[in-house]
Structure 1
Amino acid sequence: MKTSESEKKEIIDRIVKGEVFSKSEMLRKLLLYLFDSHKQNLHVKAINIAIDLFQREGDLKENDETIARVYIHKLRTKLTNYYQKEGQNEKIIVEIPKGKYDLYFRIPQTKINTKTNIRPFKIVLLILVPILLFNILICWHFGVFNTQKTVSSIWKEYITEKTDVNLMLANPFFYTVRNLKNDSTFVVRNFHINSAGELANMPGLFPKNEYDIKESDISYYANNNINSLPSLFKALAESDNKVQLKSGANINLENILNNNTIALTSLKSIGIFHEFLDQTSIRIPQKNGLSLLLINKSDTIKYTALKSYTDFYTDYAFFIKLSTPKGKILSIISDSHSIGNKGLMELVTNKNADKIILQQYPEYKGNFPKHFELLVKVSGYHEQNLNTEIIHFQNLN
């Protein structure tokens, strides 16, 4: 809608006669000057204001243009004050756009009559809110908003329980035997001796008056255990708990009882964890430390997994997860000699490991046990394209 000249004159008159401009004579003169220029369709510049308003007598000074800009800024501010106070109900807005010195007249946007619109809005709100809440409840019930990742039952306690995790990388126990007569020394690794205590109680194979026997400081970690670590770290990546990597020499029974523990070992270096096998049906024969036996409740042999020296690319590995006397979780992962742990870890760190295992054991009806024993046969060449076959799985709860 176009503003008439008479309407423009009326609004200018009200502004200059109003309370806001009553004490600003220079700003009133400037506003009237700009209005006269507007009526004559003249585009005003700072130099025009400087000459016409500030230098009617005398020569133009260098800073007069700057003074003109300052007064234009003050006039903009004064006009804003006018419309915030006594000019709130004016139907015409007078303004000076930034960067310009000309007056502009515009009609303000029509205000929405909130009194006439509030009732329909309330009605719509009353209808939509119950519908929205109902849909939220439905989505929540069916888990639409459940963004939490599904945690594998195999590693659940290590990820969800607020307790540190001992990750033990087994190293075989070595001891030295020095011949006192000729001062020759050799290093021994004995499957049945896995600690300094067991060494002290060792049967007298070496007479003490002829041999000096001491614990060795040799540290050896088998490649088949080290190569399994990346998969294991990936499985524990979602946990906020501190994972403490320890060697077999730096962990004792007290550590195991007071922390959730994962032992990555082999039959040759299972050490202190050997005694926990009594809670399972898996046994390691004393005469052949590289074979595994499965026994039934009557202690008779159910299955024998024996390393074949003619088939180096076949190995056996087991995963035992059980509870300690203090209610902590202990997982023992062990193989016989080469690729077993690698193949086993590829299986149990698979995101669908629970389903893969339970597919072979429908008697569990899809409920993965908290404590279990798992025996696998792994075959492959140079740890590539490993084939892992599940031989045995049983609930230990």
Structure 2
Amino acid sequence: MHNRENIEKIFLKVSYSSHLNSEINIKLLKYLIDGELEGKNIKEADIAFAIFGRDKNSFDSTQDSIVRAHMYSLRKQLKKYYMADGNNDEIKFIVPKGGYKVELIDNNINNESIESNKRKINILSYFSIALSVILIFISIFFYQKYISLQSKTGTTITEINSVWLDLVESDIPTTLVIGDFFVFKEFDEVSKRKRLIRDRLINSSEDLSDFVSEFPELEQRQLNTSNSYLGIEAPYVTAYITKQFSKANKDLELKLASELSWQDIQNNNIIYVGNIKSLYRIKYYFNYLHFKYSLFPHTIYFTPTPNDTTGRIDIISGGGTFHDDYAIVAKFPGNHNNTIMLITSFSSFGQVEPLKILTSYNFEEELKKTNFIEENMPKYFEILFKVEGIDKSGLSTEIVRFLKINEKSFRHNTVNDTIQTVSFIP
């Protein structure tokens, strides 16, 4: 039996957190907690009356989804809170799907990262999707022609820095994985047309299923599709990385993140470049990195140990004005003698600008000058870049933090956990 006074103290801590940014959701959570402590069987109509002022006798949940919408929002905000500020709370308030109660759970597990309560929809055209893909293949085509011309003229480029050299020289094939955004089809009842939708809160088929389960009346309107779309950074980052392999006349496979399988990860060196929202399977490796993220609001966390967060950076999107982005770059060992590297951020320029630095031949010397390394570049590392920009253009870039990854301990942490588990996932 939980002590009410203790529950009240924990609730106050939750309510003061910036992760619960809705007064209505805080009021809703308090109502659910009180109901749980008093043993009440709370129904949707009870919440509609107590929190939203609806008429209890005439409330029709099939016509008014306000309660389900806020339950959905509250659940997402709590998940975000427990990934950050509330990670070590003695008791966690968990709101299961499909019901109207809160569970008081003794804290012995870590929670997943989260999405926010806002749902912003953008309608995309098939033309923009096709154009991004075409630009990528054009980039690859011209770099292949470029290296072919060099071979004919007897010119050889050998300036590849140590970040890329082991990947270029590896006998294991390397796959460049481009982050692509999840989209779905929606039937518009007014125009009687199917539209392609990008919802920033829905970043996978699982997210779409969760959304439909919260709003079953939309089930017949929401449809999965095999389409996805690429950010404007895709052709640029592809060109920078392709150039490194073209210097040595090495092949580089290309794949979208949504198509990446665990078998691909086991059999190849992997280089992922893309938005944090487009990580798909790559996101599992953040369990073992010092840098973590939250999607809404955009936040980067620094965790010296898995349960200890000592740094937090809130990122505000510019919307056409000057703003900062932070890019997480990590290179670490896979569990099949392969290497995995990722470059990810919240904005397009947050990926392009760090790649300019990472692919420069004097990158290692610059690290020495700024005292991030003393001797040789470590094979495995984590880097946090700060990038200042406006709209979609980067203006300045600096390294905020550089960490060496210990290969032995990293393999030890992952070998009996993530890789063995996910290897059974299709």
Give the TM-score normalised by structure 1.
0.55
For residues 319-353 of structure 1, the C-alpha deviation after alignment (integer angstroms, 9 at most, x for no partner) is 11111222211111112113111110110011011
Tell me, in whole angstroms, the C-alpha distance in 2 between the residues paired with 1:212 and 1:346: 43
| Shift, 1:191, TM fit | 5.2
Tell me, in whole angstroms, the C-alpha distance in 2 between the residues paired with 1:385 and 1:273: 25
Aligned partner (choices 245, 255, 258) of residue 254 of structure 2: 245
Tell me, in whole angstroms, the C-alpha distance in 2 between the residues paired with 1:269 and 1:325: 23
Unaligned runs of 5+ in 2: 1-155, 407-426
Note closer, same or farther for the CA distance 1:203–1:315 as it changes in structure 2 (3 Å cut). Answer: same
Q: Does 1:370 align with 2:353?
A: no
Q: Does 1:296 align with 2:304?
A: yes
Tell me, in whole angstroms, the C-alpha distance in 2 between the residues paired with 1:340 and 1:286: 15
| Shift, 1:226, TM fit | 2.3
Aligned partner (choices 342, 345, 356) of residue 366 of structure 2: 356
Aligned partner (choices 170, 180, 195) of residue 161 of structure 1: 170
SS of equivalent to 1:223: coil
Give the TM-score normalised by structure 2.
0.52
Tell me, in whole angstroms, the C-alpha distance in 1 between the residues paired with 2:290 and 2:315: 16
SS of equivalent to 1:370: coil
Note closer, same or farther for the CA distance 1:198–1:256 as it changes in structure 2 (3 Å cut). Answer: farther
Corresponding position of 2:338: 328
**Structure with greater contact order relative to length (CA < 8 Å, sep ≥ 6):** 2
- Aligned-CA RMSD value: 3.0
Equivalent runs, 1:273-352 vs 2, <5 Å = 273-288=282-297, 290-297=298-305, 298-309=307-318, 311-352=321-362
Unaligned runs of 5+ in 1: 1-146
Q: Does 1:171 align with 2:180?
A: yes
| Shift, 1:238, TM fit | 2.9
Corresponding position of 2:41: none
Is the 8 Å Cα contact of residues 179 and 210 (structure 1) preserved in structure 2?
Answer: no
| Shift, 1:160, TM fit | 0.9
Q: Does 1:379 align with 2:385?
A: no
Is the 8 Å Cα contact of residues 313 and 339 (structure 1) preserved in structure 2?
Answer: no
Tell me, in whole angstroms, the C-alpha distance in 2 between the residues paired with 1:375 and 1:366: 20
Corresponding position of 2:399: 390
Note closer, same or farther for the CA distance 1:358–1:201 as it changes in structure 2 (3 Å cut). Answer: farther
Aligned partner (choices 242, 263, 272) of residue 254 of structure 1: 263
Is the 8 Å Cα contact of residues 347 and 392 (structure 2) preserved in structure 1?
Answer: no
Note closer, same or farther for the CA distance 1:334–1:254 as it changes in structure 2 (3 Å cut). Answer: same
Is the 8 Å Cα contact of residues 185 and 196 (structure 2) preserved in structure 1?
Answer: yes
Corresponding position of 2:7: none
Equivalent runs, 1:84-163 vs 2, <5 Å = 149=158, 151-163=160-172
Corresponding position of 1:105: none
Note closer, same or farther for the CA distance 1:188–1:293 as it changes in structure 2 (3 Å cut). Answer: farther
Tell me, in whole angstroms, the C-alpha distance in 2 between the residues paired with 1:339 and 1:385: 5
Is the deviation greater in 331-340 or in 172-181?
172-181
Tell me, in whole angstroms, the C-alpha distance in 2 between the residues paired with 1:276 and 1:192: 21
| Shift, 1:211, TM fit | 2.7
Note closer, same or farther for the CA distance 1:308–1:183 as it changes in structure 2 (3 Å cut). Answer: closer
SS of equivalent to 1:318: strand
SS of equivalent to 1:226: helix
Is the 8 Å Cα contact of residues 266 and 334 (structure 1) preserved in structure 2?
Answer: yes
Identity %: 21
| Shift, 1:293, TM fit | 2.0
Is the 8 Å Cα contact of residues 160 and 244 (structure 2) preserved in structure 1?
Answer: no
Is the 8 Å Cα contact of residues 180 and 211 (structure 1) preserved in structure 2?
Answer: no
Equivalent runs, 1:24-39 vs 2, <5 Å = none
Which structure's CA Rg is the greater one? 1
Is the 8 Å Cα contact of residues 159 and 361 (structure 2) preserved in structure 1?
Answer: no
SS of equivalent to 1:211: coil
Note closer, same or farther for the CA distance 1:219–1:361 as it changes in structure 2 (3 Å cut). Answer: same
| Shift, 1:185, TM fit | 4.8
SS of equivalent to 1:284: strand
Note closer, same or farther for the CA distance 1:241–1:163 as it changes in structure 2 (3 Å cut). Answer: farther
